[in-house]
Structure 1
Amino acid sequence: MVQEPQDRRVVLETDVQPERIDRALARALPDVSRSRLQDLIRTGQVRRDGVVVSDLSLKVGAGAVLDVMIPAPVDATPVAERLDLVIVHEDDDLIVIDKPAGLVVHPAPGHDAGTLVNGLIAHCGESLSGIGGVRRPGIVHRLDKDTSGLLVVAKNDLAHKGLTAQFADHGRSGPLERAYLALTWGAPEPRMGTIDVNLARSQRNREKIAVVRPDEGRIAITHYLVEEILDAGTEVALVRCRLETGRTHQIRVHLSHRGHPLLGDSVYGNAFKTKAARLGEAARAKLGVLGRQALHAALLGFEHPRTGETLRFESPIPPDMADLITALRTKAPV
């Protein structure tokens, strides 16, 4: 079914105070993101009292009649590809995916096909609305290519706006909850604590994230709990991490900064590769099969952007990590 352009009319109430036109429209049209409305204003799709408006800072007040023409969404640039997606939950507004390790979330240089976005476009089809004017899934947060686990994606502007606000708030005033399971070289001390150090793109290697001074970069906070010591000889630990912020590579960098990088992390734990020789034969073999950082997004909770219902999902540890854990436990003390 081809979607048609929409004409939306807003008549401001008589008791409203003058405010920027984009703010007034965002309040009156909650299902359309403010950034989308700003694009429509810039491109001449909004009229005030019959006159085209292009100035975002224009103040509108009581009784103003605003007409918004929302063009039909165009097809997304990424092509639709049929992928075997593990769908944990889906409704008209959003979809929760249990992402396998190795799957890239969004097309990027070197990964222009076979991504989660390609698969979602094929799966959702016409149910996708024009997020930003393009029919595509709204990526609210991401997982690294080699991190497995739970990911929520918006299917329309309303969901994208609501979910983005929750992730920006980091769960301070709502039910947003994210927890990861990681295997680390050594066990952080104390066994339960918080890592609070700022992060920024490395100046030496733009593909890496680095710890920076408190007055630089972005605030990054990780709460952790050592759940189990898995190998007495090398002291490999199973650590649960709860994110208070969600920065790129946050858990990997924070734990490496504390001297406990993730098993299999070739970017932040390369200096610990020789420790693998101290593992038992079975554990060494399973670590080789893993071939990635041992990190899994095991829990995701949030408020449904339309219904207000609290949704909470859990994902079991995937087989590659589970097999490694089993092999590591064979050397754990009785």
Structure 2
Amino acid sequence: MTKRKLGPFEIEPVGLGCMSLSHTYGPPPSDEDGAKLLNRALDLGYDFFDTASIYGVGHNETLIGQALKGRRDEFVLASKCGLRVGNDEARATRILDGSPAGIAEVLDLSLTRLGVDHIDLYYLHRLDPKTPIEESVGALADAVKAGKIRSIGLSEVSAATLRRAAAVHPIAAVQTEYSLWTRNPEIAVLDACRELGTTFVAFSPVARGFLADGVGDASALTKGDFRRHMPRFNPPHLEANLKLLAAFKAIATELGVTPGQLSLAWLLNRDDRLVTIPGTGSIPHLEENFGARDIVLAPEVMARLDALINRHTVSGPRYAPAMQASIDTEDFAD
């Protein structure tokens, strides 16, 4: 499979989402093991790494900066701003801050942690309802002019927001969850990306590990695993979705590929312009994911997968109501 365009860059269609090296899906690997995985990724040919200031509250960027020092010219680096952790007296909270001052502050911190003088692709992690998107993108455009970032991205935004942003500055990429079981981008964002020449970046392309057969039952999710708070991973939805997974795994076996590879291949064969960023803390899974680049699926196989797992057959919403309210992406329920 040939490389794909992302802003001014040409990259492999399978990149690396680095979030799980710091938090979210249970205990992360040690920094030593995380560094080994990052370097193995470069050795395999990965050339696109995705991180964010909020991942591990800065830990993820620091890990990448230290682990890949001296190899900066081997990959396209993406990070994100606009979402940070605050603290009230009871618990940690997520704060949306897309203000120009907030963006400038977080960007400088990210550059320091990463140990670089510029970031190739810098996303607004979430839309801040208190700040017009035009102001947020204007601040990012100023960072482009200053040489601190090379291109601008948006994460979890609607087609309408993307169009407003693109009127201020070209948007190189939009990042949103997309897989067989999360089809929200098909409502409008994919069409808007094609219209504007914006690359679509699919995060959680193996359904947060579900389509890679990484979730046996709800009890397998450890304390601190973000999926414990997601409806699809809890009763009664999980039991219904596991029935879909059994049929999906049977198709993967028939084709001689792993379930994770089949999930990635469905995306890569569906749209020859999008890019995927599966995450993992496992080197064998890292190697497995990269192999999906070479899998060609026949039209009849694509049709079988579409019929098996889609928004009508998957049980449960993508997010609980509170989390859904914090994103700008279109939802089928609307």
Same-fold status (TM-score > 0.5) = no
Q: Which structure is larger by alpha-carbon Rg, 1 or 2?
A: 1
- More strand, by proportion: 1
- More helix, by proportion: 2
Which structure has more RCO (C-alpha within 8 Å, separation ≥ 6)?
2
